[in-house]
Amino acid sequence: MPRTEEQFEQIRKEKKQIIMDVALELFAKNGFHVTSISQIAKQAGISKGLAYNYFKSKNDILEEIIKSGFGEISNLMIPPYDGSITDDEFITFLEHSFDKVGNDIQHWKLFYSLMLQPNIVENFTERYAAAAEPFFSMMHQFITSKGSADPEGDLMIISAMIEGAFLYAVVASGIFPHQQMKQKVIDGVFRIIETGKKQQS
């Protein structure tokens, strides 16, 4: 029986994901600039030509990895259909984000290893910003709704704290209990916002 379009699309998604997973591992361990499409294809168990059917270039794979990484977190956001985000919705988003990282430490360790390589950040800053925009927009909306006197400043501090906690969980997992770290960061977010409101009044 011939495959349906949906089946072909599913196969395509699976092949792309295999290529991305292999590429992430090789980029992180050997370096982005040293790794070739040929090496990625060989480890993925496919031909070089087939790899090019899915991705135009090595940069194309990297962009997809970046987009996917931020997308995994952004997809956890609860859409604010009513134009607002409740405390419970925001807390749930943070909890799920921490659990997403904590449940797949190896993947995120490779992701951060890649992102911290020389020339990667410099060459892809705009793409980072575009991929992370939904996350920052949601954060800014929530901080503003809580009455922050300096939403932009609070966004910088809170984002740095969350990203730092994610990175710490990845590179030094086990030093601080996951659940305790998660709760302390959530408490810290609301403490920063409340401090800003008190300073304003």
Note the pLDDT tens digit of each residue in 144-178: 988 888 899 999 999 899 888 888 888 777 777 88
Q: How many CA atoms lie within 13 A of 100 on its CB side?
A: 16
Class in CATH terms, 5-55: mainly alpha
pLDDT at 108: 85
The C-alpha atoms of residue 135 and residue 67 are separated, in whole angstroms, by 12
Segment 3-36, tens digit of pLDDT: 787 877 887 889 999 999 999 999 988 988 899 9
CA distance 128 to 116: 13
pLDDT band at 123 (very low <50, low <70, confident <90, very high): low
Architecture of the CATH domain 66-200? Orthogonal Bundle (1.10)
Alpha helices, DSSP H, located in the chain: 5-30, 37-44, 48-54, 58-74, 87-102, 105-115, 120-145, 151-171, 178-200
pLDDT tens per residue across span 42-73: 999 999 999 999 999 998 998 888 878 777 77
Residue 179 identity (one-letter amino acid): Q
pLDDT at position 109, please?
A: 84
pLDDT at site 78: 56
Is the backbone of residue 150 left (phi > 0), alpha (psi -120 to 50) or beta? beta
pLDDT bin (cut points 50, 70, 90) of residue 86 is confident
C-alpha–C-alpha distance, residues 18 and 40, integer Å: 10
pLDDT attached to residue 38: 95
CA distances in angstroms from 83 to 78, 79, 142, listed in the order given: 11, 9, 10
- Exposed / middle / buried, residue 173 (Cβ in 10 Å: 0-12, 13-18, 19+): middle
| Between residues 87 and 171, the one the model is more confident about | 87
Domain boundaries, the chain: 5-55, 66-200
In the predicted structure, residue 81 carries a pLDDT above the cut 50: no
Candidate ranges 41-50, 85-94, 102-111, 126-135; pick with highest mean pLDDT: 41-50
* pLDDT score for 164: 87
Q: 143 to each of 96, 122, 155, 169, 180, how far by Cα in Å?
A: 19, 29, 7, 24, 23
Give ∠ CA 69-94-192 in degrees, rounded to 5: 120
Q: Given a cut of 60, is residue 80 above it in pLDDT?
A: no
* Distance, C-alpha 159 to centroid of its chain: 12
Report the predicted TM-score, pTM, of the whole model to 2 decimal places.
Answer: 0.71
For the chain, how long is the longest CA-to-CA vector? 71
Q: Residue 172: its pLDDT value, please?
A: 75
Model confidence at 195: pLDDT above 60: yes
CB atoms within 10 A of CB 191: 11
Predicted confidence at residue 83, as pLDDT, reads: 59
